[in-house]
Amino acid sequence: MKDRRVTKKVPEEEKLELFKKQLAVDADMTLDEQRKANEDMRFVHVDGGMWEGHLESAYGERAKFEFDLASQYLSRFIGEWNENRVAVEFKPKDHKTSDDDSELMNGIHRADFGEYFGETAVDNAVDEASCCGFGAYMLTTCYEDESDDENDLQRIAWEDIHSAYNTVIWDGSAKKIDKRDARHCTLLEPFTEESFLEEWENSDPISAFEPESLRHLDSNLHSVDTIYVAQRYDVIKKYEDLFIYNDLENGDQIRVYEDKHEKIKDELKENEFMKFVRKRRILRQSVEKTVFSGEKILEPSRRIAGKWIPIIPMYGHRVFFDGSERYRGLIRKIKDPLRLFNMQVSQLGENSAGNGQEIPIFAPEQMNNQEIKEQWADKNNKPYLLAKPIYDADGNIVHMGPLGYQKPAGIDQTTAALMQIVLQFLNEQTGGAPQDTINPDISGKAINALAKRENMNTQNINDNIKNAIRWSGDVYLEMARDVYDSERMLNIIGRDGSEKSVQLFETVLDEETGNLVNINRLDGKRFKTMADTGPAYETLREQTVEDLKGTLQALKDLGKGEQYADAIIAIILENISGVGLGPLKDLNRKLMLASGLVKPETDEEKAMVAEMQQPKEDPQADLARAAAKQQEAEAASLTASAEQKTQDAAKKAAETEQIKVETEVIKHEAHIAGVDGLVAMRERIFTAPNQIN
């Protein structure tokens, strides 16, 4: 029996016609919503858009003023979004995934989001979703360095999608708000004929599909044709072999799909530490991208990173019933009140311009003079005006001056009441201007209650935006597993905005087991994707500083300030911003590392902390030890001196005894010498003259 979960393979020669047919069917299912969304966008962003449709023909050449309360409402919502953006956060999902793994994943995402246009793409989607009810952005891959043809490393980037309501066409059978159940999705990318031929020079510039547009309503409609090229994304589910190895060197388990296994199987076989465990047949999901025009397949199907369609849908208010999807933004339900209000104001403007003054009424015989007629026709700035009186049959004057006046039309009670109702409704729906909704004399508690009530109007939109960004985290995670799957250096960004470099798949020594292990890797890790709502980092940091100041003062008042003061002051210094704070922040960082408030991140900081943790001796102990050594040296010197004196005394005694012996010998020898001396002397005397001669 055929497994329905497996995607049916479509022959290449049949793809173009099948894709075009499915695109037309999918677009037709949401055609009504596309038209309404287009009207909503024009209502706000096009001059005269508030009068387009049946009112434009009904009012013809009459005055059509626009009091734009819609843009103010929309701009306030966008401003609140800018102050309280939603960010993706990854958290560990099982015991094999640590907080360090989670922080690595978050750091990579923050770096990609900040450097590769994440904020711009998401903001554009929020703008469109809040206005017309639907927006979208796309995740894709790009080369890390486009100018280096030898660098094949890639990063994940964000791309904004404009007019998503009629350029993103989803599988008509998909019902979930994040479209995870969609089998395919088509993105229509507009090109001019010239740009199309530059990209695909051997192809005819024929659109794959023409989305419905209201551009024909523009007074400055350009004549350049737009060619729409379709990017088709298909979810592919098929069974593949998964090869499982054990890395004996570090104890990790390596799981490789057959497409990648073919490339590295020889390398794995030669590695003595890699032991093949088993091969498993599993159902694998991937995504293929195909680019086509109305004429042919421009780029053949190829697998892209990740397992989900990389287009992120974002809705305002959204429901699914009667077999179709319905959505709207902030504008649709206030369009009719705004039209009615503009109609009333325009009517009053016409009345004021055309009938702003009272018109005098004369009898024909009062104005039968050409000079008088000219005076009244140009009566402004005249010192006086003339008019003939009316006479009776007897020639008596019966009336002087105008017979009466035609007064300008006033505002009737019905119109006044209707305008009041419309304005009240708009204020309730949009919140009005801040000075109209918040009384400066009321309490802060009451102000918070009012703000909460106003935010209830947009709570559903905020939740849908949050869900879309959370889903984009799931899509990003699966793409990251494919893109960041080898050893390389990456710049990541911490939660506090600090940057650092990490090496993926870095090999280090596990101090507990003594084995070499790979760290900073995403394979085998499981994460929960969360959407964290809060103010922008700079705003949050400023708020943190103020909160810590208040906390420090409160602790001092409780008599506990000394216990926490150093830590609080260190965190305040870490979060303050200004000019010339570099040396102070460097010193503060060293003190925080020394006290253990923060963990070392760089190799330099780790070495510094290790040096700090070496046991250091008390200077007084060093002095005592030096004094003891000096005393020992002096004692040794005294002992040596005493021994030397003893030796000298013994030597002197021996010498004395020797002297005594020698003295006796000398005395004995002296007696003999004396006799011999006398004999010698006698001989010298007797022989002296002979010697002289």
- Answer with the residue of higher pLDDT: 617 or 63: 63
> What pLDDT score does 432 carry?
52
Q: What is the average per-residue pLDDT within 370-382? A: 77
> What pLDDT score does 301 carry?
95
Q: What is the average per-residue pLDDT within 342-365? A: 76
> What pLDDT score does 573 carry?
82
pLDDT greater than 50 at residue 453 = no
Q: pLDDT over 90 for what percent of the chain?
A: 36
- pLDDT tens by residue, 156-196: 999 999 999 999 999 999 999 999 999 999 999 999 999 99
Q: Residue 438: which pLDDT band, with cuts at 50, 70 and 90?
A: very low
Q: Residue 686: which pLDDT band, with cuts at 50, 70 and 90?
A: very low
Tally: H helices and E strands in the chain:
20, 21
First to last CA, the chain: 158
Q: Residue 139: which pLDDT band, with cuts at 50, 70 and 90?
A: very high
> What pLDDT score does 624 carry?
63
Q: Residue 688: which pLDDT band, with cuts at 50, 70 and 90?
A: very low
Q: Please, where are the H alpha helices in 133-192?
A: 164-167
Q: Which two tokens stand for residue 46?
A: 């096009």
pLDDT greater than 90 at residue 480 = yes
Write down the mean pLDDT value for the chain: 81
- pLDDT tens by residue, 492-503: 998 877 788 999
Contacts of 102 (CB under 8 A, 6+ apart): 90, 91, 92, 527
> What pLDDT score does 436 carry?
45
Q: What is the average per-residue pLDDT within 664-680? A: 49
d(Cα 514, Cα 517) in Å, to the nearest integer? 9
Q: Residue 356: which pLDDT band, with cuts at 50, 70 and 90?
A: low
Q: What is the average per-residue pLDDT within 537-554? A: 73
Q: Residue 508: which pLDDT band, with cuts at 50, 70 and 90?
A: confident
pLDDT greater than 80 at residue 681 = no
- Answer with the residue of higher pLDDT: 115 or 376: 115
Q: Residue 659: which pLDDT band, with cuts at 50, 70 and 90?
A: low
pLDDT greater than 90 at residue 128 = yes
> What pLDDT score does 557 carry?
77
Highest-confidence segment of 324-338, 354-368, 401-415, 527-541: 324-338
> What pLDDT score does 295 carry?
94
pLDDT greater than 50 at residue 524 = yes
pLDDT greater than 50 at residue 673 = no
Q: Which of 1-10, 72-81, 319-328 has the lowest mean pLDDT?
A: 1-10
- Answer with the residue of higher pLDDT: 268 or 476: 476
Q: Residue 69: which pLDDT band, with cuts at 50, 70 and 90?
A: confident
- Answer with the residue of higher pLDDT: 424 or 73: 73
> What pLDDT score does 515 carry?
72
d(Cα 290, Cα 587) in Å, to the nearest integer? 55
φ, ψ dihedrals at 4, nearest 5°:
-70, -15
> What pLDDT score does 112 carry?
96
Highest-confidence segment of 182-196, 339-353, 545-559, 581-595: 182-196
φ, ψ dihedrals at 191, nearest 5°:
-135, 150
Strands of the 311-315 sheet, one edge to the other: 154-160, 134-143, 311-315
Contacts of 552 (CB under 8 A, 6+ apart): 561, 564, 565, 568, 569, 572
Contacts of 308 (CB under 8 A, 6+ apart): 180, 235, 287, 474, 475, 478
> What pLDDT score does 442 carry?
47
Q: Which of 3-7, 449-453, 514-518, 576-580 has the lowest mean pLDDT?
A: 449-453
Burial of residue 577 (CB within 10 Å: 0-12, 13-18, 19+) is exposed
CA 190 to chain centre: 28
Q: What is the average per-residue pLDDT within 265-279? A: 85
Q: What is the average per-residue pLDDT within 114-132? A: 96
Task: Give the number of residues written for the chain.
Answer: 693
- pLDDT tens by residue, 207-218: 999 998 877 677
> What pLDDT score does 582 carry?
81
> What pLDDT score does 268 carry?
83
Q: What is the average per-residue pLDDT within 21-30? A: 95
Contacts of 138 (CB under 8 A, 6+ apart): 121, 158, 159, 161, 187, 310, 311, 312
pTM over 0.85: no
- DSSP string spanning 189-247? EEEEHHHHHHHSTTS----S------GGG-TT-----EEEEEEEEEEEEEEEEEEEEEE
> What pLDDT score does 588 carry?
83
> What pLDDT score does 474 carry?
97
Q: Residue 622: which pLDDT band, with cuts at 50, 70 and 90?
A: low
